[in-house]
A and B are shown apart, each in its own frame.
Chain A
Amino acid sequence: MQHDTRLVMTGVLGEVNSWAESILPQFLDMTAGRQIELDVARFSLLSGGDAFEAVQDIGRMAHKIAGTAASFGFAALGDQAQEVEGLCLRIERMPPAALATAAHSEMLPALERLMLELDLILVTPL
């Protein structure tokens, strides 16, 4: 998957090391893959799939995004991923019934905000 990163980089990477620019395309490729995996897990949750498994998958993806996004200048994305990761860690320890409820009422709205942040960096109109 190729991205034109010119607009993304404008003003965003100003304070980030120049090396980040050089590997930004790889980062965006990986992040696009993660957005797809997030979407798959979200769909599974919404269609009545195993909530624990979905929360774990979403938490794992969010953990990865939270670990590197800020290094590429995407602090807001990192913060939102961190919020989702924290929610997943908390929710996956709940008993099954409470877990499913919290996954829908608490985690999904936060995941929606994360998806919006991902769209901002991955689907910037040229």
Chain B
Amino acid sequence: MSSSMRYLAVDDDPAFHFVLTKTMTHLGYQAPVCVMSADEALAWLADPQEHFDAILLDIQMPGTSGIEACRLIRDMPHRRDTPIMMITTMNGREYVDQAFAYGATDYLTKPINRIELQARLGMLDRLVKEQAHLRSLQFAMESMDDMQSFGFAFEDAVALPKCGSLIEYLALENHLLTLSRLKLHAHTALAFQVVGSGSLFKRLDRVAFLDCMADVGSAIAACLKRQTFLLAYAGSGEFVAVLNRTEPVDMLELENELASELMVYDAVYESLGLPMLQVRIGATVHSGLFSTSAVKTMLGRARAAVRGQSGYQMQYLAG
């Protein structure tokens, strides 16, 4: 429960405002600031002085849709990390994919269920706290000499700076959880691992490590741009991309393209005395139609593949 969190709720239905406000206050949250249109919300959000911890955004609204609003919000530098939870009826679930691609964090289905809302808001609370923690760490790192004593763990799936093509790993998991088993089966997961990322993590301060991962993330995204993809940093120097299975990946071409993209950074890394960036690419994996815990299993198997675990031998090395 987080009574201090300030939410902006955007929905053109005043009845939904009633329901949401009452449910949230019963759960111990502050009543959200409710607005009736995306344009009204964008006007509020354009003001950097106006603080909102998270945004609840209806997808289907007259005028500017929630999807478009999500994109416009993410274009605002001061709202880049603000969690956005899309709200939709069951009929609108087909639009959720697009919302995640534009940077949505999670989604909630109307009519809202108190228990589900509580769980989703709890998740947003944790995300907001983690982001605040990360910001304070970055501030501390920028202002103190002993940088190595601050930071996050190597395994943490932290948000990468200045890397617009990536979504957060939690958002990637949330997105996949929205898919039916059949639809999940139509996707494939592919993991990338920065070679020597463990030693980079030890050598670099946390900000520099994040910058390094952001460079790799941008390079991977550039190689995948001809396809429909979602890409997230998973921690431990690993990235996971989710691709449409109907657009098969030519692994050798990807390897070559990624090597070219990474070469751009060679001179800079060399001048800093750092090793050239090399990225290992795992085999593509997909979800079994009848497996349990399909999402975690699919992402986990992709990561196991890039580590050479679980019998996956086919790997590619770029850089």
Contacts and interface: CB of A to CB of B under 8 A. Distances in A.
A19 B18 CA distance: 10
B14 interface: yes
Interface residues of B, number: 21
A89 B14 CA distance: 22
A117 to B, nearest CB: 15
A71 B60 contact: no
A54 to B, nearest CB: 15
Given A64-B15, A66-B110, A68-B13, A17 B89 contact: no
B26 A19 contact: yes
A68 B111 contact: yes
Interface in A49-107: 60, 63-64, 66-72, 78, 82, 85-86, 89
Contacts of B16: 64, 67-68
B111 A63 contact: no
Contacts of B13: 64, 67-68
B91 A63 contact: yes
Given A20-B22, A26-B18, A71 B111 contact: yes
Contacts of A23: 18, 22
A67 B13 CA distance: 9
B278 interface: no
B78 interface: no
A7 B89 CA distance: 28
Chief secondary structure at chain A's binding surface:
helix
A63 B109 CA distance: 12
Contacts of B22: 17, 19-20, 23
Contacts of A68: 13, 15-16, 18-19, 110-111
B114 interface: yes
B15 A17 contact: no
A66 B89 contact: yes
Among B13, B62, B91, residue most surrounded by chain A Cβ atoms (within 10 Å): B91
B26 A70 contact: no
A46 interface: no
B266 to A, nearest CB: 49
B89 A67 contact: yes
A66 B14 CA distance: 13
A89 B90 CA distance: 12
B112 interface: yes
A71 B19 contact: yes
Given A17-B23, A17-B114, A67-B110, A27 B89 contact: no
Interface string B12-34: 11111011001100100000000
10 contacts: A19-B22, A23-B22, A27-B15, A30-B14, A31-B15, A68-B13, A68-B18, A68-B111, A71-B23, A71-B111
Cβ-closest 5 pairs across A and B: A67-B110, A70-B111, A19-B22, A68-B15, A86-B91
Given A63-B92, A66-B91, 8 more contacts: A20-B19, A23-B18, A63-B60, A63-B89, A63-B91, A68-B18, A68-B111, A86-B90
